[in-house]
């Protein structure tokens, strides 16, 4: 039973399209995150959510709109996709905002914009 | 959060201990040292964390110097599957934290 699951695993789409990535965690954690890993392999935090509420938006363009219907789910919708959005997107969760017990990451969604 | 410095890359022979160093000279008293790793194409994986005492779990050991300015992650018997990028991260205890990844150390375990 996967702790943090993301769908789809791969996504290829054309510039200008709108796409969504879904994330679910079955760990009972309160806090969820989206990270982006670009071609240079740096992992950058995008959003933090706690109990469905947005805590931090790390200066991500407003074409990216996360939505958390409940604390077990955090989806990422991207409008008007650009070439620079091509990356691997990781969802993660932690027990609380402090993250002191460690983060659990999903296996990633590889987004390719052509 | 305090910054960390790690070597860019390291090699280790299979079956030997891999010792990965990390400098965090500006760490404050209530900041923990965390280690994560990312095996190729997978999501990062939590390994271990500690405050000032040495810690051990089924994956690794963490040795923190007495002045807490540096630490070493030890994989006692490295296997090929331990080839990954290892990240040393300092996190404040309590309140809101965000896990910030640096460049990490690329560990290559060879036969």
Which residue, A46, A44, A23, is CA-closest to A93?
A23
Which residue, B31, B20, B111, is CA-closest to B59?
B20
Q: What is the pLDDT of residue B92?
A: 80
Shortest Cα distance from A99 to chain B (angstroms)? Answer: 6
**Distance (Å, rounded) from C-alpha B8 to C-alpha B2?**
19
Asked whether the beta carbons of residue A90 and residue B46 sit closer than 8 angstroms, the reply is no
Q: What is the pLDDT of residue A6?
A: 97
Whether the upstream peptide bond of residue A19 has omega within 30° of 0, thus cis, is no
Asked whether the beta carbons of residue B46 and residue A4 sit closer than 8 angstroms, the reply is no
Copy the structure tokens of residue A93: 């969760």
Task: Show the low-confidence residues of chain A (pLDDT under 70).
Answer: 1
Positive/negative CA dihedral, B2, B24, A99, A42: positive
Residues of A in contact with B32 (CB under 8 A): 100
Which residue, A108, A105, A87, A91, is CA-closest to A12?
A87
Please list the pLDDT of chain B residue by residue as tens digits (111 residues): 568 999 999 999 999 999 999 999 999 888 899 999 999 989 999 999 999 989 999 999 999 999 999 999 999 999 999 999 999 999 886 677 788 899 999 999 999
Closest chain A residue to B51, measured at CA = A100
Q: What is the pLDDT of residue B60?
A: 97
For B91, half-sphere exposure in the C-beta direction (CA atoms, 13 angstrom radius) is 26
Which residue, B20, B33, B1, is CA-closest to B82?
B20
**Distance (Å, rounded) from C-alpha A72 to C-alpha A24?**
6
Q: What is the pLDDT of residue B44?
A: 96
**Distance (Å, rounded) from C-alpha B63 to C-alpha B85?**
19
**Distance (Å, rounded) from C-alpha B14 to C-alpha A6?**
33
Q: What is the pLDDT of residue A63?
A: 96
Reduced to 3 states (helix: H, G, I; strand: E, B; else coil), residue B82 is: helix
Closest chain B residue to A92, measured at CA = B43
**Distance (Å, rounded) from C-alpha A39 to C-alpha A23?**
22
Residues from B contacting A (CB-CB < 8 Å) are 32, 34, 36, 38, 41-46, 49, 85, 91, 93-101, 103
């Amino acid at each position: 039973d996967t702790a943090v699951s993301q769908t789809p695993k791969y996504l290829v789409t054309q510039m200008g399209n709108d796409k969504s990535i879904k994330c679910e965690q079955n760990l009972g954690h309160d806090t969820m995150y989206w990270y982006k890993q670009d071609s240079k392999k740096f992992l950058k935090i995008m959003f933090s959510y706690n109990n469905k509420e947005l805590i931090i938006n790390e200066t991500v363009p407003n074409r990216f709109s996360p939505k958390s219907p409940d604390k077990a789910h955090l989806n990422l919708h991207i409008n008007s996709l650009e070439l620079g959005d091509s990356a691997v997107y990781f969802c993660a969760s932690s027990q609380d905002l402090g993250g002191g017990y460690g983060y659990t990451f999903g296996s990633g969604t590889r987004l390719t914009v052509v | 959060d305090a910054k960390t410095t790690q070597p860019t890359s390291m090699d280790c022979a299979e079956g030997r201990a891999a010792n990965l160093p990390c400098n965090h000279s500006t760490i404050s008293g209530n900041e923990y040292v965390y280690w994560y790793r990312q095996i190729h194409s997978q999501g990062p994986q939590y390994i271990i964390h500690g405050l000032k005492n040495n810690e051990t779990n089924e994956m690794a050991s963490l040795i923190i110097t007495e002045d807490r300015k540096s630490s070493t992650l030890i994989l006692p018997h490295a296997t090929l599957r331990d080839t990954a990028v290892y990240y040393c991260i300092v996190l404040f205890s309590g309140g809101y934290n965000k896990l910030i990844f640096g460049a990490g150390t690329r560990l290559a375990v060879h036969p």
